[in-house]
A and B are shown apart, each in its own frame.
Chain A
């Protein structure tokens, strides 16, 4: 049976890490064809073709596919679906927008955030913000799923697979792109960074949050924040780690001034090593931390900067 993987692209560039991790999740399901749907996707298609496990790349190019709008992308995926037993994508904002619509067009359910693949119809996925894990069996003829990339490793490279062009479907003209206000950053992407440094309510102000950012930059890390820090305006929402933000699982997660609300823990508890710095020695974050340092972050963070 063959799997169709909808690749994530941004301005014609492949989100290689997310696609490579999704490929390793899908490996038990059979041959994988990757669909690159973009305005100009030739470069992304070549990149995808060289990822291990890809049997073929389907390249669909068209104006309506340039900005990831859901309606033309979902119509395209649905038009190709009859050849496939599984339709998958990384569980990012891009695919979460598109795949449930695809599932509805095919009259099947969608499985979001799959964290384990047991067989063609059997998967694990977290519910209640990761406070429970469900094993579910699909009874649908086509299984549509998104994969939580942070729990899978990335596949390696291979000799490039063939790239085949497919026609984009007619643009239904239901929505138009107006603008992207992308945050240009030299820092690693939060969802795939090896190290994440996060700040919480204890950081105290937007100005103080600069110290968290400097520490992250010094460590070559991505910057994260708790929901409290985001709600208080210390950090932008797309830095939010937790149930209502991003789920991360880096090698090292450094939580500074974060108490460890259930909703935050749900987003980072799968990190390999967790370090917590907090002045409250009863903070719940210490229950999940591998290394706990009780003390004033305003003296600890500068000292840490100096010693790294």
Chain B
């Protein structure tokens, strides 16, 4: 079984993002970039499926700028077999929208014919939570989003999904798209030898133009601002004072 995993280069999870004062966006220059944490979980799951003998090949794909090759190298070091970079822009400040990403991925899927696409449920930059569902829709495939458990058997994926108020288990006919949630697994730490070894793994270059996909944004970003800041309130000295303040001042009890 062949698995395709899309990965995105985003601002590192531990970086406090700064909004540019002119409203033009978030400061991305000289900021640490990493693989989207949900995508790391997706790669880890694919690697575990390969280690269990369920999967035979893992192809990772990233869409965006040339620098995303670093992200692909990380995925290769984790255990993916080969990588494809789809160059869609040279501007590091430009986010390719989920619809365009899904279209590009659908072209890659047509060429690679994977049995399963495992993707992160959302990217922590645009927080759109859409690419996996869009890809499944474009391909006419089944989808299982927000997975916390994936089992492959008899031509289908049995997926436990994290939904509001509990868990839902569904069976999806393969080929399918599965998007992963936090609790699915804990991604492995990438060792130095595996990083060295990953440098020898194949990394193919493609472009959005050659895949004939228009990546023009559908959403125009008018401005980006900081959210309203809260100001620190008061220190209370005791539980009595707290209860009193909540009753008389805040009026919430």
On A, residues with C-beta under 8 Å from B are 10, 67-71, 74, 92-94, 96-105, 107-113, 122, 126-140, 172-183, 185, 189, 191, 195, 227, 230, 237-238, 243-244, 251-252, 262-263, 269, 272-275, 286-294, 300, 303-304, 307-308
CA distance A100 to B134 in the complex (A): 6
Check A139/B170 contact, CB under 8 A, given A132-B225, A237-B182: no
Q: List residues of chain A with CB within 8 A of the CB of B238.
A: 293
Residue in contact with A293 in the complex, picked from B11, B219, B239, CB distance below 8 Å:
B239
In which size bucket is the chain B interface? 35 or more
* Given contact pairs A128-B125, A180-B167, A252 touches B17 in the complex (Cβ within 8 A): no
Is the pair B222, A136 in contact by a Cβ cutoff of 8 Å? Answer: yes
Residue among A101, A238, A262 having the largest count of chain B Cβ atoms under 10 Å: A101
- Looking at the complex, which of B75-83, B107-115, B229-237 is the stretch in contact with chain A? B229-237
Minimum CB–CB distance for B237 against chain A, Å? 8
Cβ-defined contact, B234 with A290, below 8 A: yes
CB distance from B74 to the nearest CB of A (A): 20
Q: B155 to chain A: closest CB distance in Å?
A: 12
User: What chain B residues lie within 8 Å of A134 (beta carbons)?
Assistant: 221-224
Q: Which residues of B contact A127 (CB under 8 A)?
A: 26, 125-127, 224
**B102 within 8 Å of A by Cβ?**
yes
Measured CB to CB, the closest approach of chain B to A197, in angstroms, equals 12
Interface hits, B160-175 → A, CB 8 Å: 161-173
B213 at interface, CB cutoff 8 A: no
B250 and A290 contacting across the interface, CB-CB below 8 Å: yes
Instruction: Tell me whether B127 and A291 are in contact (CB under 8 A).
Output: no
Q: List 12 A-B contacts (CB under 8 A).
A: A93-B146, A101-B136, A102-B137, A110-B134, A127-B224, A135-B224, A139-B218, A174-B143, A181-B167, A252-B246, A269-B227, A300-B239
Question: A284: shortest Cβ distance to chain B, in Å?
Answer: 10
The answer to whether A69 and B170 touch across the interface, beta carbons within 8 angstroms, is yes
* Contact residues in A for B153 (Cβ distance below 8 Å): none
Beyond A92-B164, A112-B128, is A275–B102 a contact (Cβ under 8 Å)? no
B222 CB to nearest chain A CB (Å): 4
Residues of B within 8 A of A111 (CB): 219
Q: Collect the chain B residues with CB atoms within 8 Å of residue A10's CB.
A: 165
CA–CA, A300 and B168, complex, Å? 38
Q: How far is the CB of B60 from chain A (nearest CB, A)?
A: 22
Q: In chain B, residues 182-239, which have Cβ atoms closer than 8 Å to a Cβ of chain A?
A: 182-183, 218-227, 230, 232-236, 238-239
Decide if A122 touches B222 in the complex (CB within 8 Å): yes
Q: Which residues of B contact A173 (CB under 8 A)?
A: 173
Known A-B contacts A93-B162, A101-B137, A174-B173; A307 and B127 likewise in contact (beta carbons under 8 Å): no
Q: Cα distance A226–B145 when bound, in Å?
A: 22
Determine if A126 and B165 form an interchain contact, defined as CB atoms under 8 angstroms apart: no
Chain A interface SS verdict (over half): mixed
Q: List the A side residues contacting B54 at CB < 8 Å.
A: none
> Once the chains bind, are A100 and B133 in contact (CB under 8 Å)?
yes
Q: Known contacts A103-B134, A104-B138, A291-B245: does B158 contact A178 (CB below 8 Å)?
A: yes
- CB-CB < 8 A to A181: which residues of B? 166-169
Question: Bound complex: CA of A100 vs CA of B135, how far in Å?
Answer: 9
Q: Tell whether, in the assembled complex, residue A175 and residue B127 are in contact, meaning their CB atoms are under 8 Å apart.
A: no
A112 near B127: Cβ-Cβ < 8 Å: yes
- Residues of B within 8 Å of A130, CB to CB, are 227
Residues of B within 8 A of A71 (CB): 142-143
Q: What is the CA–CA distance of A102 and B140 in the complex, to the nearest angstrom? A: 12
The residue in chain A whose Cβ has the minimal distance to the Cβ of B163 is A93
Q: Are B252 and A262 in contact (CB under 8 A)?
A: no
B6 CB within 8 Å of chain A: no
- Contact check, B242 vs A133: say whether CB atoms are below 8 A apart: no
A100 and B138 alpha carbons, distance in the complex (Å): 11
B233, A289: Cβ atoms closer than 8 Å: yes
Contacts A179-B169, A251-B252, A292-B235; A307 near B137 (Cβ below 8 A): no
Contacts of B138 in A (CB 8 A): 104
B227 to A132, Cβ gap below 8 A? yes
Partner of B176, one of A174, A243, A286: A174
Query: In the complex, are the beta carbons of B127 and A129 less than 8 A apart?
Result: yes
A104 and B141 alpha carbons, distance in the complex (Å):
12
B242 cross-chain contacts in A, Cβ below 8 A: 275, 291, 293, 304
A178 to B246, CA, bound (A): 46
Whether B99 sits at the interface, judged by CB under 8 Å, is yes
Give CA–CA (A149, B133) in the complex, Å. Answer: 21
Residue pair B240, A74 in contact (C-beta under 8 Å): no
Which residue of chain A lies nearest to B141 when distances are taken between CB atoms in the complex? A174
Q: Which 3 A-B pairs have the closest CB atoms?
A: A174-B142, A104-B137, A290-B233
Give chain B residues whose Cβ lies under 8 Å from the Cβ of A303: 239
Q: Is B130 an interface residue (CB 8 A)?
A: yes
A243 contacts which chain B residues (CB < 8 A)?
124, 127
CB of B253 within 8 Å of the partner chain: yes
**Additional 9 contacts, C-beta under 8 A, given A262-B16, A273-B252:** A93-B146, A97-B145, A101-B133, A128-B26, A181-B169, A183-B165, A230-B183, A237-B182, A288-B232
Closest to B146 in A: A93
